[in-house]
Amino acid sequence: MKKVISVLLIMGLLTGCSNYRDLNEVGLIIAIGIDLPQERESGYRVTYQLINPGYFSQNGAVSSLPVINYTVEAETFIEAYRMASLIIPRENSVTHLSLIVIGEALAREGLGLIFDVFERGESRSSFPVFIARDTTAEEVLGVIEPLESNPTKSIISTSENNEKMYAISEIVPIYRAISLLSGEGQNLMLSGIHLNKPLKSQNQTGNLQDIKPPVVEVTGLALFKKDQLAGWFDGKIARTAHLINSAAEYTSFPLPCNSKKNMTVTTKGIKSTIKTELKPKLTLAVDADIKAYIAELECYIKIDSEEEIRKIEKKLVEEAESQIRETIKMAQEMETDVFGFGRKLSINNPNYWKKHKKEWNTLFKNADIEVNVNAKISNAGLLTDPYKLQ
């Protein structure tokens, strides 16, 4: 995205060059939103988000917006792409496509082979896919925020920031989504996004003047059963799902300090392994190693004491094990193995998998859970003896 904007800025300065004229003849599509149709019984409602070159040019209007959205409805995705020429005044180009957003209503009906067109087309297959929760993709792509130049950049940046800081979100590229949808032993899980509050008006320049504007928010993980949205993980459960899959490195655990106060333990490394064991009863096993440090204390504890550190480690182990069990149980209730226990089983015991894979959802739902967490608190920060209030 930065590369695209840099090119646009350069072209805006070179107003007399032929390349700039070529750029003005092409509509650079950077995001696509896909929803159920509103004006027809079948097909898709597709929103195309295009870079507005005038915003980046030297002579661009101050009040212009960095992107422009165009929405069309058609029976198929390719027909929608072709029909967009009715309203987009430039030749469409998806060579810089950076994002796909799918509305929740469409996801619940089923994704089907909706991604097939992206495998066949000219766009790269590494751009991420998100689910617009409790709203439409069209609405999510229609919000301009003060801190980012366009909604596409805002969605990606917010998700990347959360992935690093707390690990609810995960950037899932489309090629991985296709692999999970078409593969065996692991179901698809995608990050959800929505607006944190309703728009006050459709005037996006007005949104830029609001000190607390509506913004795109990371909101849980969408769990799929085959190609249909089955339910959501939220909050710490969504974070723990990534912990199980070793996709969470940095996150935090509030732990009880006394009857009224808490402490915060922040992780700086999580390594998990999963396996499916054929004991007397099928068992889903998770082993996790957590490295952490004490980031906050709300009560007085002598954390330079080895005994106190061991007590805190025990609390962290108990909390992590409890969350892992709860997260797996919720997935079992929805009969969707988003962790890949089935995939592990197919590798370690291919004969059993071949015989029972068609009934895996039922086997997964009724399997036992075994969790083993090892936690190590390596330091307590710069302060080893918290101050006391007089």
3-state secondary structure 38-84: CCCCCCEEEEEEEECHHHHCCCCCCCCCCEEEEEEEECCHHHHHHHH
Torsion of CA 266, 267, 268, 273, to 10 degrees: 180
Q: CA–CA separation, 313 vs 292, rounded Å?
A: 9
Provide CB contacts within 8 A for 116, sequence distance 6+.
none
Six-digit token string for 144 = 């301009």
Please list the pLDDT of the chain residue by residue as tens digits (390 residues).
444 444 444 344 344 444 444 556 778 999 999 999 998 899 999 999 999 887 766 554 555 788 999 999 999 999 999 999 999 998 888 888 999 999 999 999 999 889 888 877 666 678 999 999 999 999 999 888 878 778 899 999 999 999 999 999 999 999 999 999 999 999 999 999 999 887 766 666 666 667 788 888 999 999 999 999 999 999 999 999 999 999 988 999 999 988 788 999 999 999 999 999 998 899 999 999 999 999 988 888 877 788 889 999 999 999 999 999 999 999 999 999 999 999 999 999 999 999 999 999 999 999 999 999 999 998 665 555 665 654
Q: CA–CA separation, 185 vs 115, rounded Å?
A: 20
Angle, CA of 336, 338 and 344, to the nearest 5°: 110
Q: What is the pTM of this model?
A: 0.88
Helix (H, G, I), strand (E, B) or coil at 265: strand
4-31 exposure pattern, b = at least 16 Cβ within 10 A, e = fewer: ebebbeebbeeeeeeebeebeebbbbbb
Which H/E stretch holds residue 145?
Answer: none
Q: CA–CA separation, 275 vs 21, rounded Å?
A: 58
Helix (H, G, I), strand (E, B) or coil at 168: coil
Domains and CATH numbers, the chain: 1-233 (no CATH), 245-390 (3.30.300.210)
Query: SS3 helix, strand, coil % of the chain, rounded to 5?
Result: 35, 30, 35
Q: CA–CA separation, 176 vs 102, rounded Å?
A: 16
Around Cβ 387, how many Cβ atoms within 10 Å? 8
